[in-house]
């Protein structure tokens, strides 16, 4: 039977020749992930079972990133619980402060996720690795506990929505704009339960960094995963980093899709999502006058080196507006070091921006840049729900890194062409 990319990866991991949408399967996981918010609950559940070891010491990843470096005593206790668990059970992939990063950037960059994988994580943005032609999805803490014991997860095979990208994106349009545009079109439940599978010759114009951004926000359309086909760019990225052998998977001709959406990349302009939903989008030209108090560049959506380069390019030789605080968060230590080597850090600091150690920080209203009542931020993050970055009466606008950087200079939401 002809299968979509997602169906094919699921079938392989369930030891089956085929699967179809709606079926429940038990599948092997290649990697199970937890962070400092979700793993403590999973660790307690794991310990309650009294099993002597995890299914595979190399296939559990524990990343303290949400409130680390420890924000307060409670966060310190949570991270301590992870650290002790990692030591006791010999978890190879525990990432300590100073060697860590935001989980969804760190794991693929470390080569721990490879094409064709099935990865689960107790974090909703685990869908990010679809960029690598892997199946990955967010689950609950109990699922993580179970996977740490058995190396398996049960899944319902999703329908697949096919998204065909064509054309070449214009200046200042990036991966963020592609996914914000799609969510704006189909809505925040537009792909509920479904796999989003990208296709079309437009994909060739999306570098890996952009694909990670697009897959990262699949959950913002309600989807289970968002997956790209394997191509030359995937191969280059994977060959440079993969710590395991991988097998290339492709969708079958004649696979059945639940729906299809076409996106002409050439017709896009940068997109901004207004409060309080990622689907509440407007093209940049129709934003109007929206002054901002804070600008955040970072997160698992847009904290990669390419994102920092883009923002720095806009800021070079310019100053952050008097009324604005700009905070830049490289997603990992590797990216931090690279930004230092390329002189990007100097550009940010000279422009008057703060440059932080890797952390989720303000993305989830954790620490390092919380908004006061009535304040407004433009951020390269993925969610702008009520209170997401601080006070329930603060506002978050979502955009790509070059628009965020331009807004920092302008003091209001705007693009680099206005500088």
Partner 1 sequence: MNSELRGKAWKYGDDVDTDVIIPARYLNTSDPAELARHCMEDIDASFASKVSNGDIIVAGKNFGCGSSREHAPIAIKASGASAVVARSFARIFYRNAFNMGLPIFEAPEAVDGIEAGDRLAVDMEKGILRNETKGREYRFTPIPPFMQELVAAGGLLNYIAIRKKGT
Residue with Cβ nearer ligand SF4 (333 or 382)? 382
Can you tell me which residue has the tokens 């006791």?
88
Binding partner of residue 300 among partner 1, ligand SF4, none, CB under 5 to 8 Å per kind? ligand SF4
Q: Are strands 281-283 and 271-273 parallel, antiparallel or unpaired?
A: antiparallel
One residue of 119, 146, 182, 371 binding partner 1 per CB under 8 A = 146
| Interaction between residue 382 and ligand SF4 (CB under 6 A) | yes
| Interaction between residue 164 and partner 1 (CB under 8 A) | no
| Interaction between residue 142 and partner 1 (CB under 8 A) | yes
What is the rounded CA–CA span in Å between residue 136 and residue 140? 13
Q: How far is the CB of 349 from ligand SF4 (least distance, A)?
A: 22
- Residues 6 or more apart whose CB falls under 8 angstroms from that of 12 comprise 116, 249
Question: Count of residues for the chain?
Answer: 419
| Interacting span for ligand SF4 (CB under 6 A) from 97-105, 183-191, 198-206, 320-328 | 97-105
Quick note: the x/- pattern for partner 1 over 215-254, rule CB under 8 A, is -------x-x------------------------------
What is the rounded CA–CA span in Å between residue 397 and residue 393? 13
Q: How far is the CB of 219 from ligand SF4 (least distance, A)?
A: 9
One residue of 90, 154, 243, 340 binding partner 1 per CB under 8 A = 154
**Which residues are registered as beta bridge partners of 164?**
199, 262
- Residues 6 or more apart whose CB falls under 8 angstroms from that of 397 comprise 272, 273, 274, 275, 290, 292, 376, 377, 378, 379, 384, 413
One residue of 76, 97, 149, 364 binding ligand SF4 per CB under 6 A = 364
- Residue 376 tokens, joined: 């407004």
| Interaction between residue 25 and partner 1 (CB under 8 A) | yes
Q: Residue 255's CB: how many other CB atoms inside 10 A? A: 18
What is the rounded CA–CA span in Å between residue 308 and residue 330? 7
One residue of 81, 97, 149, 354 binding partner 1 per CB under 8 A = 149
Binding partner of residue 299 among ligand SF4, partner 1, none, CB under 5 to 8 Å per kind? ligand SF4
| Interacting span for ligand SF4 (CB under 6 A) from 96-104, 229-237, 305-313, 411-419 | 96-104
Quick note: the x/- pattern for partner 1 over 32-71, rule CB under 8 A, is -------------x--xxxx--------------------
- Residues 6 or more apart whose CB falls under 8 angstroms from that of 270 comprise 172, 173, 174, 177, 283, 284, 399, 400, 402, 403, 415
| Interaction between residue 261 and partner 1 (CB under 8 A) | no
Q: Residue 193's CB: how many other CB atoms inside 10 A? A: 15
Which among 294, 139, 327, 128 is positioned nearest to 211, based on CA atoms?
128
Q: Residue 286's CB: how many other CB atoms inside 10 A? A: 9
- Residues 6 or more apart whose CB falls under 8 angstroms from that of 268 comprise 169, 170, 173, 177, 178, 181
| Interaction between residue 102 and ligand SF4 (CB under 6 A) | yes
Quick note: the x/- pattern for ligand SF4 over 251-290, rule CB under 6 A, is ----------------------------------------
Binding partner of residue 192 among ligand SF4, partner 1, none, CB under 5 to 8 Å per kind? partner 1
Q: What percentage of the chain's residues is helix, strand, coil (to nearest 5)?
A: 40, 20, 45
Residue with Cβ nearer ligand SF4 (7 or 65)? 65
Element (H, E) at 36: none
Q: How far is the CB of 80 from ligand SF4 (least distance, A)?
A: 20
Q: How far is the CB of 363 from ligand SF4 (least distance, A)?
A: 3
| Residues of this chain that bind partner 1 (CB under 8 A) | 22-26, 45, 48-51, 139-143, 145-146, 149-150, 154, 156, 192-193, 222, 224
């Amino acid at each position: 039977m002809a299968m979509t990319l997602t169906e094919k990866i699921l079938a392989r991991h369930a030891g089956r020749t085929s699967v179809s949408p709606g079926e429940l399967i038990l599948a092997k996981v290649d990697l199970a992930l937890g962070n400092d918010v979700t793993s403590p609950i999973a660790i307690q559940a794991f310990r309650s079972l009294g099993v002597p070891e995890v299914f595979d010491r190399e296939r559990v990843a524990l990343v303290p990133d949400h409130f680390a470096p420890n924000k307060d005593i409670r966060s310190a206790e949570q991270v301590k619980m992870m650290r002790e668990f990692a030591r006791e059970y010999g978890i190879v992939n525990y990432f300590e402060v100073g060697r860590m990063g935001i989980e969804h950037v760190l794991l693929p960059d470390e080569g721990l996720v490879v094409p064709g994988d099935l990865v689960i994580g107790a974090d909703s943005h685990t869908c990010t690795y679809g960029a690598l032609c892997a199946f990955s999805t967010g689950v609950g803490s109990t699922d993580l506990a179970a996977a740490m014991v058995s190396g398996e997860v049960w899944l319902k095979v999703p329908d697949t929505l096919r998204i065909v990208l064509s054309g070449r994106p214009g200046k200042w349009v990036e991966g963020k704009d592609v996914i914000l545009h799609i969510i704006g079109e189909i809505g925040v439940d537009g792909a509920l339960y479904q796999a989003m599978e990208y296709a079309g010759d437009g994909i060739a114009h999306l570098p890996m960094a952009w694909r990670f951004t697009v897959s990262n926000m699949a959950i913002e359309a309600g989807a289970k995963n968002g997956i790209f086909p394997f191509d030359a760019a995937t191969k280059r990225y994977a060959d440079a980093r993969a710590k395991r052998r991988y097998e290339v998977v492709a969708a079958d001709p004649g696979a059945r899709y639940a729906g299809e959406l076409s996106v002409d990349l050439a017709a896009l302009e940068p997109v901004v999502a207004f409060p309080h939903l990622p689907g509440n989008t407007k093209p940049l030209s129709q934003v109007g006058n929206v002054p901002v108090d804070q600008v955040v560049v970072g997160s698992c959506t847009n904290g990669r080196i390419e994102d920092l380069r883009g923002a720095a390019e806009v800021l070079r030789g310019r100053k952050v507006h008097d009324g604005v605080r700009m905070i830049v968060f490289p997603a990992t230590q590797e990216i931090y070091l690279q930004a230092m080597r390329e002189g990007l850090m100097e550009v940010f600091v000279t422009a008057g921006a703060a440059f932080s150690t890797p952390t989720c920080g303000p993305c989830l209203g954790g620490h390092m840049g919380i908004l006061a009542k009535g304040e407004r931020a433009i951020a390269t993050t993925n969610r702008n729900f009520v209170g997401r970055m601080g006070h329930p009466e603060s506002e978050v606008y979502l955009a790509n890194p070059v628009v965020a950087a331009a807004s920092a200079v302008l003091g209001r939401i705007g693009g680099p062409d206005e500088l």
